[in-house]
Amino acid sequence: MKPIIIFRNVAHEGPGYLGDFLTEKNIPWQIVNTYDLESLPSAILSYSGVVLMGGPMSVNDDLPWIAPVLNLIREAYAADIPLLGHCLGGQLISKALGGIVTQGAVKEIGWGEVTVSQNEAAQHWFGEIEGFNSFHWHGETFSLPPNAVHILASPYCQNQAYAIGKHLALQTHIEVTAEMVQSWCDIGEDELAEASSSSLDLYKGVQQANVMQENLPLHCFFLNKVAKQVYGQWIKGLVN
């Protein structure tokens, strides 16, 4: 089987639970760092699926790797190679396929409930799950590109996920492990401090590190169960 390519945009935002899931299923996968331009593939047809992880940058930033990655997303979409985006990865898919990415009304950082949409596409991806406690770390939000079906929302962000057939874009982070959350809290210390000292509505969706890390293994255990359901559906579309 051809491997899945996983685009990593920053060192601390790897595949997390997704990597464990794929390894358990004996599905080959490899990481490519987008910030290493020479490592970007010239074509995408050698892969069975395409995954895009998160990162602190914006898809609207003038970074040298964004344009070639957007082209690879379009190539995968045209070839019906399944796409899977997490946070920034979902925003990249949205921009590549005709959506837009804009500043959200508030930053959303920490654990928060998301609600599964009442439609067939949402049922396909989430089964009997009607809502769950997910992990968030974003300040921007994507619009739905043409032909996309809305499948997930939260109180602070209406567009938490959409699907286009076998392609899935998530704003939320269903891939996180306890170690990832702890690492992100350390790396994002300044951002969390800024939120803590501000009275702006922009920061009303931000939890502090101590809150995010309460009962962390239990939160991740239940979130991984949701991810297992979603990833199990996504791998059904892999191209041999």
Residue 100 confidence class, pLDDT cut points 50, 70, 90: very high
Q: Which residues pair with 106 in a beta bridge?
A: none
DSSP 42: S
pLDDT digits (tens, 9 = 90+) for 3-57: 999 999 999 999 999 999 999 999 999 999 999 999 999 999 999 999 999 999 9
Predicted pLDDT at 208: 96
> Judging by DSSP bridges, how do beta strands 149-154 and 101-116 pair with one another?
antiparallel
Cα distance between residue 90 and residue 86, in whole Å: 5
Class of domain 4-237: alpha beta
pLDDT digits (tens, 9 = 90+) for 140-150: 999 999 999 99
Rg (CA), the chain: 17
The predicted model scores a pTM of 0.97
For the segment 75-103, the average pLDDT, to the nearest whole number, is 98
Predicted pLDDT at 207: 95
**% the chain with pLDDT above 90:** 95
Predicted pLDDT at 86: 98
Cα distance between residue 150 and residue 232, in whole Å: 19
Average pLDDT, the chain: 96
Residue 197 confidence class, pLDDT cut points 50, 70, 90: confident
